[in-house]
Amino acid sequence: MGTGRPRLMRIALDHSTEVGMRTGRLLLGETTLETLGIVGQPVSDRDPRLRRIDDLEGFDVVVTDDPELGIAGRAIASGVPIVAWVDGDDLAPENPAVPFMTGANLATGIAHALAAREMASIGQPSTALIAWTEPGTPLRSGEPVTFPDPVGARWGRIRYRHGITTEVVVPVAGEWAGAVVRVSDEQHTRILGIADLATHLEALALTAGAVTVASGTTQPGLVRPADYADEYLLAALRAGLEIASFTSATA
């Protein structure tokens, strides 16, 4: 019989940006973390779970903030799954033999996972809006989107529209970021929103991807966070993601 103990995770972190460093700190808050290996860089923290590594063998996943995915070849050769911050499907090999998650970021990760979860729970949605911020010069007109404070009400531009789904990107200046999902059926409208420091939200998104893949539930091949929305969002919530929600009657 099983002991009922959670699976302990061995995660390799390949980082070069503030997002990656914050991801490491968030991963150290995971109670199921056994080892966090820092690829090719010295380690000064005294946490016994933390150490420098040069070999990926034996790790459950390698998580990277590298937009070029330079570590992907080494990971695949070692049979280690990959989680990437970048939307890098074009950088991944065709039909990888290990789980290869791309887009573990605010937009493709958290925002789209929230939308997938809400659309599945509402049954037969009639409309769905997915909006998120990106660094840029704020617009003076366009599609109106209201995020939780401190981002607030903003103008965005439609990036994609297909069927019932509309995706809107909202340029913002400064350190804050956010995402909003609005899903409606014939009776109700459900709105979910998040806002926080941009680097923190991106690190939460990458952390959630790492934990999801390290759990061993993802299938080999290219995957996105929304493919495992429930597991991904649960991992993000455990890492500290806070979601504001509102439900109203559809006019």
Determine the pLDDT at residue 175.
Answer: 97
> What pairs with residue 9 in β-bridges?
33
**What is residue 5's predicted lDDT score, i.e. its pLDDT?**
62
Dihedral (Cα; 216, 218, 223, 228), 10-degree rounding: -110
pLDDT digits (tens, 9 = 90+) for 167-187: 999 999 999 999 999 999 988
Listed as ranges, residues in the chain with pLDDT below 50 are 1-3
The upper half-sphere exposure of residue 236, i.e. CA atoms within 13 Å in the direction of its Cβ, equals: 28
Query: Is residue 65 within 8 Å of 17, Cβ to Cβ?
Result: yes
pLDDT tens digits for range 86-119: 998 888 888 899 999 999 999 999 999 999 999 9
In 3-state terms the chain splits into helix, strand, coil percentages (rounded to 5) of 25, 35, 40
Residue 155 to residue 37: CA distance in whole angstroms = 42
Say how many CA atoms lie within 13 Å of 127 toward its Cβ.
13
Other CB atoms closer than 10 Å to residue 155's CB: what's the count? Answer: 15
Distance CA(29)–CA(154), nearest Å, equals 33
